[in-house]
Structure 1
């Protein structure tokens, strides 16, 4: 059974060795195998987080989720999709799922065991990839889902999960003996959510640590206006920070910035946690060059699910996510755009760090 949406599917592919090169490809409709479903990708979010997926595509296997070849790749996104064709007896036309999607019009999946909450894709190439990226959540049973918050979910659900895990990781390790926290690329959405969570925890538990920010001149006013950071400075003013014992959470991936921070703080530089690659062209060629510890969210999800129990982890995350959705609604806005006609510009602006930090890009197929 099928619902007609596209006779020819489209997808956006980037050159794996030169992210500024891209192409559109068409894919004629093909018959599904037994047990497969075809999903029309209604809409997805795009941010600097997706640029990080591209930069870590080889080392962390992100190109392997929706493989093309050794030259071209598809950047993964988080989105909502509707079943338009089903050869699976337990999945019906019109069912809607949140999950990991390509920058494309549709996706063919092979669901494994179908639960009320959703299913995992069991295509052979995905079975060796992190399970956190393979599950598709049925919106009718998804604890995170509300119709009104779809755009917020598309931008912040994966990012906030990383922020949530990061906050727990930092507190669990007592900031690696540091007194304060310094966050780079402080206007990035994952960084902002982390600052929000740290500030909330500090107020709740009467902690004394400070949350400091480094950002660009362009985003200085926004970052200052949030009220999550204690001190906000441009990269050029790094030298004006007091030399307290510091734990650095780096979202920039910029080796030069990492080195300058270490030089300024000297023996007070206690830990460098590597999270993102907003400044992707200035990243260290070898992780060892940064002398930092790479934070990998899927590994932390496993750890916390074991520590708190899966239900406990989900409950804590959902509650925290809902609170942040309300808090961020005062400054977070969304730009809804057509995928086929607007994505090239969104992609290039995000790649160059020029897409407004206070906006969330939502791309829809029509």
Structure 2
């Protein structure tokens, strides 16, 4: 058995997200009692990771993988890893898991609540964090897993989980009485995933707000009833109860939306940060104050009502349909871009941070 290895990690400056550095250190690969060591194979980088970093302090995302450095953090990413050492009964060397990882070569976890499905990391620093992020799923258990769709899974499943649960939340609340939903950053995968999950409601209009440059792409998605650029926002009449679903985090745009729809805006849902890279601000100039949507809360509600298996089936079945929508059309709506190594990860993260990644691209990093 290999007893030591060089561990590599990419860390990010918390107050300057386009600054990162790659570090290497030699570590023992002999697990402590109750410990599992995972070697990370690949991870996805999307605007979701920018949200994790931007809200790293307020939403505790920096706390999942401490670096030991006050000013530097691990940006979490979804990916696949293999067990290289285990001191936990029921978890074997060579098993493959899907879950939440740092952009690093290895992760040490304290595997607890071990079942056929997988395990939870019971490390002390993660005990107070959202349990949905602490779960690691065995690929051998997951009926929706396929080696051929690993890249799609890590690119789309975390985003689609938010899309699916947000759509479920809005339907559960009967759209708060709204008959129009306005989506900002409508080209983002989480936004149009939500629109797809909502399906067609005869009395509901889904309005896509996007940049002029992304209009053609958003039109090709065929999941919004109306499409306008940010410059054209005021062309949408304020004539019916409206709900704003904010995927951009752009405060100036939020104020424009709130002012334009004024008395007709009945709910403002803050769902993500595809464009903003500062800490979340749940304020608006007029109208209802924005409410942050946090998918694990809706998952917890549905776990109690449907059971965890029911929730997994709901998300898994929807995810397969979403894969098909994006990949089986004449002109695919997602182009997987696979890169190798930590320098590539640093470059992709910088491009995402500065808004230079194309909406059709989905970036996977092989580590």
Q: TM-score, normalised by structure 2?
A: 0.93
Aligned pairs (5 A) from 1:338-357: 338-357=340-359
Equivalent in 295, 307, 310 of residue 297 of structure 1:
295
Shift of residue 292, structure 1, vs aligned partner: 0.3
1:44 aligns with 43
Aligned pairs (5 A) from 1:17-28: 17-28=15-26
SS of equivalent residue, structure 2 residue 216: helix
Any stretches of 5+ residues in structure 1 without a counterpart?
A: none
1:359 aligns with 361
2:282 aligns with 287
| Aligned: 1:253 with 2:255 | no
| Aligned: 1:178 with 2:178 | yes
Shift of residue 285, structure 1, vs aligned partner: 6.1
| Aligned: 1:220 with 2:215 | yes
SS of equivalent residue, structure 1 residue 20: coil
Contact 1:167 1:194 in 2 (8 A): yes
Contact 1:100 1:133 in 2 (8 A): yes
Shift of residue 289, structure 1, vs aligned partner: 4.6
Contact 1:254 1:284 in 2 (8 A): no
Shift of residue 310, structure 1, vs aligned partner: 1.9
Distance of 2:18 and 2:297 partners within structure 1: 30
2:205 aligns with 210
State the Cα RMSD in Å.
1.6
SS of equivalent residue, structure 1 residue 142: coil
Aligned pairs (5 A) from 1:64-103: 64-68=63-67, 69-103=69-103
Distance of 1:133 and 1:192 partners within structure 2: 23
Aligned residues: 357
1:193 aligns with 193
Runs (4+) of structure 1 moved beyond 6 Å? none
2:313 aligns with 315
Distance of 2:191 and 2:280 partners within structure 1: 23
Q: Are the structure 2 counterparts of residues 20 and 236 from structure 1 closer, same or farther at C-alpha, using a change threshold of 3 Å?
A: same
SS of equivalent residue, structure 1 residue 19: coil
Distance of 1:19 and 1:316 partners within structure 2: 35
Distance of 1:285 and 1:296 partners within structure 2: 13
Contact 2:334 2:360 in 1 (8 A): yes
Q: TM-score, normalised by structure 1?
A: 0.94
